[in-house]
Amino acid sequence: MGRLFQLQEYCLRAMAHRDDMDGTEGRALSLQHISSLILVISAQYPLISYVAYNRNDMEKVTACLSVVFTNMLTVIKISTFLANRKDFWEMIRRFRKMHEHSASHIPRYREGLDYVAEANKLASFLGRAYCLSCGLTGLYFMLGPIVKIGACRWHGTTCDKELPMPMKFPFNDLESPGYEVCFLYTVLVTVVVVAYASAVDGLFISFAINLRAHFQTLQSQIENWEFPSSKPDTQIRLKSIVEYHVLLLSLSRKLRSMYTPTVMGQFVITSLQVGVIIYQLVTNMDSVMDLLLYASFFGSIMLQLFIYCYGGEIIKAESLQVDTAVRLSNWHLASPKSRTSLSLIILQSQKEVLIRAGFFVASLANFVGICRTALSLITLIKSIE
């Protein structure tokens, strides 16, 4: 198996980020670090100009708004990473170190080796699949105008040039050389959006899956503990378990803190995107190509939301299961002092660890709620038409 978070690290390195946060130079933001943020923010101008220019055409406005919202969400993700990049790299190193411990069969992690190994395989697979999904969506937008121009030339006809994204620049962007410059600019923005989405979202689901595996490891250690009569061995083992539990809770809270702005933006902006894309889907039922385009775009944004909801759900569920593991163990064989320590673990485990931002909680229940809202919007728009 490859190195943990390797794909996400490649995406970050493509955006000029390095795991060199120990020195003073590494902690300072350079022009390379913020150039991608400036590029994505600058894309808002031609996008909003397009909306203003076509304000009387609801179909064009809603088509552009879905891209505007995606761009806004990327700005939030880039800003979040830049503000917390030291914490991101520290968490990457921490999980890699924990994986090395489990692979080395160190006693503290030995019983959860299978959990951690399988979790890392799953995280690696989902990271690649998500990156591929984002990349194909971006590639579809980029190739659309090229294929259209090629088809027109093949049939010997003329057609109007189109940019990959609905944008309106303050100069002639449909004639050379303006068209080529704008096309290249759009490609660069799309590359940055795909790279950061693959990195930031991919890291979240990978962190969440690894946390779940380590919570399962902890549960296994507690349930299978025989509580030996040797007091020194018992105290050493109990101290190790308590420290492990505290570490996992600390990492969970750190993950929540790092991703609070992203989770908030994901829920708010996805809710807005659902509205405009559903409108596009319903109003383009007669066009197969447009229907496929907006259906794939809708699936892409819902996949982003699902990543956060699923990650939050598994962390919440497994953190609560530690309480059950203690109750199922041979706790009655432990000494009174050990039982006191176990009771503290129970108390800590009874408070669920939630990935939340304000009143938005990353959970599958909220994801299903947004899906139901989307279905209700389809019915409402059809009835109005």
Q: What is the mean pLDDT of residues 234-242?
A: 82
Average pLDDT, the chain: 85
Tokens of 334: 């432990």
Top-confidence range, 229-233, 332-336, 342-346: 342-346
The mean-pLDDT minimum among 224-233, 343-352, 363-372 falls in 224-233
Q: Which residues, other chains included, contact 94 with Cβ-Cβ below 8 Å and sequence gap of 6+? A: 251
From 2, 1, 74, select the one nearest 304 (Cα to Cα): 74
What are the extents of the domains in the chain?
5-384
- The DSSP code for 356 is E
- Collapsing DSSP to helix, strand or coil, 334 comes out as coil
**H helices within 20-158, ranges in order?**
24-27, 31-42, 44-53, 58-83, 85-103, 107-110, 113-154
Top-confidence range, 160-164, 218-222, 236-240, 312-316: 312-316
82 alpha carbon, distance to own chain's centre: 15
From 308, 284, 222, 209, select the one nearest 251 (Cα to Cα): 209
Q: Can you tell me the distance from the alpha carbon of 181 to that of 299, in angstroms, rounded to the nearest whole number?
A: 30
Per-residue pLDDT, 2: 56
Evaluate whether 81 touches 73 at the Cβ level (below 8 Å): no
The pLDDT of residue 25 is above 50: no
Evaluate whether 9 touches 132 at the Cβ level (below 8 Å): no
- In angstroms, the Cα distances linking 217 to 112, 149, 187, 318, 377 are 4, 56, 44, 10, 43
93-112 burial code (b ≥16 CB/10 A, e <16): ebbeebbebbeeeeebbebb
Q: Can you tell me the distance from the alpha carbon of 114 to that of 108, in angstroms, rounded to the nearest whole number?
A: 14
- The DSSP code for 198 is I
The pLDDT of residue 317 is above 90: yes
Please report which confidence band the pLDDT of residue 109 belongs to, taking 50, 70 and 90 as the band edges. very low
Q: Rg (Cα) of the chain, in Å, rounded? A: 25
Q: Could you report the per-residue pLDDT of 358-379, keeping only the tens digit for each?
A: 888 999 999 999 888 888 877 7
Q: State percent of the chain over pLDDT 70.
A: 91
The mean-pLDDT minimum among 102-106, 172-176, 266-270 falls in 102-106
Which position has the token pair 């794939």? 296
Which position has the token pair 């946060």? 21
| More confident call, 187 vs 150 | 187
Tokens of 76: 């939030």
Tokens of 178: 């303006």
Q: Could you report the per-residue pLDDT of 54-88, keeping only the tens digit for each?
A: 999 888 898 889 889 999 999 999 999 999 999 99
The pLDDT of residue 143 is above 50: yes
Distant-in-sequence contacts of 375-384, Cβ < 8 A, 24+ apart: 377/274, 377/275, 377/278, 377/279, 378/278, 378/281, 378/282, 381/278, 381/279, 381/282, 381/283, 382/282
| More confident call, 233 vs 354 | 354
Per-residue pLDDT, 382: 67
At 346, the amino acid letter reads I
Q: Could you report the per-residue pLDDT of 115-133, keeping only the tens digit for each?
A: 888 888 888 888 888 888 8
Query: In degrees, to the nearest 5, what angle opens at C-alpha 358 toward C-alphas 69 and 258?
Result: 75
Q: Can you tell me the distance from the alpha carbon of 372 to that of 145, in angstroms, rounded to the nearest whole number?
A: 34
Q: CB 261: neighbour CB atoms within 10 A?
A: 16
Evaluate whether 283 touches 66 at the Cβ level (below 8 Å): no
What would you measure as the largest C-alpha separation in the chain, in angstroms? 88
Q: What is the mean pLDDT of residues 132-160?
A: 83
Q: Which residues, other chains included, contact 379 with Cβ-Cβ below 8 Å and sequence gap of 6+? A: none
From 238, 234, 243, 248, select the one nearest 321 (Cα to Cα): 248
